[in-house]
Structure 1
């Protein structure tokens, strides 16, 4: 009976609805770390430091190197990102330019942690495989100069090889704005 009850607890957790991060009236009011924000924005229920999400997704969610709306992009640990970073794809502009919605990247009003919607993320990897990116940075009012290593994308679709039922994740309705600046994203990416 213990095995059955643990499976029922797991199933209940898997089908629970996605909630807003603590202290936020809406997704975009959130101030805090990127991980709880990405969990709420994507519906992907993974826990732990951002850089650990890639391995944690194995057997639970599909992973790949193609950006799709609602997918979580997982940044590797690096000298500038000691815990990695996670962001949610809000728009695909071109095969090498997307927009993300994330938290705890740029400073706003002198503090980190705020949510940002439809931020430009550009693939700068030599193989065009999204293994290295540059991110728009509010403090510079443009694309940052730092290249960040990336594992890839975690999709909200269950990994069918896992051999168990996993609920499909659903992205939050506030993931993207009504009028994202595609032209600005392209200018940022290619300037």
Structure 2
């Protein structure tokens, strides 16, 4: 019994340490995408979302191939003046992912909420994730907007990174136990 109580206390402490400030669980978070992505991915970058790609240079490995736990850095655009960051939670197929992120859709009329295992569809001509569509709760499907993205920031330190930079550890709450793969594929390919 004592071990079970000690484990419960440690688990609660770990979850609250991994969750952004003010949330007991990653999925209870309400706020901006940046602190959420940092907590969900373990990647220690600060500042506006559009600056993450440049800040990762020389610190974390980057690329255009999705990996679970990687952060997709959206570019600054007219629709996203501060950019956006989202964490890859599942790879469904070559051009369909699930992401976990915050501050995208409205929930009860309010932005900022965390969303788990949201469909992300690569609509770029080259299949390099430079243009994407994102599931939007208000439409109950993929939004009609196409967003430019820089690429993926991996939690692995770059070879030029300071020796103190450690490999990032994504949150255990990054994905659900039973994500809706079929729904994700329907969302992506019905929106073509």
User: What is the number of equivalent residue pairs in this alignment?
Assistant: 175
Provide the TM-score with structure 1 as the length reference: 0.89
Please state how far the C-alpha of 1:162 moved relative to its aligned partner. 3.1
Structure 2: stretches of 5+ with no match in the other structure: 1-16
TM-score, normalized by length of structure 2? 0.89
Aligned alpha-carbon RMSD (Å) = 1.2
Partner Cα distance (1:72, 1:128) in 2? 17
> What displacement does 1:20 show?
1.8
Match of residue 51 from structure 1: 50
Q: State the partner residue of 1:62.
A: 61
Q: 1:118 maps to which residue? A: 117
Find the counterpart in structure 1 of residue 187 from structure 2.
188
Q: Flag structure 1 segments of 5+ consecutive residues without an equivalent.
A: 1-17
For 2:34 and 2:188, locate their aligned partners in 1 and report how far apart those are by CA, in whole Å: 25
1:152 aligns with 2:151: yes
Once the two structures are superposed, residues 91-141 of structure 1 have per-residue CA deviations (whole angstroms, 9 ceiling, x without a partner) of 000011000000000000010000000000000001111100000000000
Q: Distance in 1 between matches of 2:97 and 2:44?
A: 23
CA contact (8 A) 2:92 2:98 kept: yes
Q: Which residue of 2 aligns with 1:96?
A: 95
Structure 1 residue 171 corresponds to structure 2 residue 184: no
How far did 1:19 drift?
A: 3.4
**Alignment-derived partner of residue 5 in structure 1:** none
**Shift of residue 159 of structure 1?**
0.3
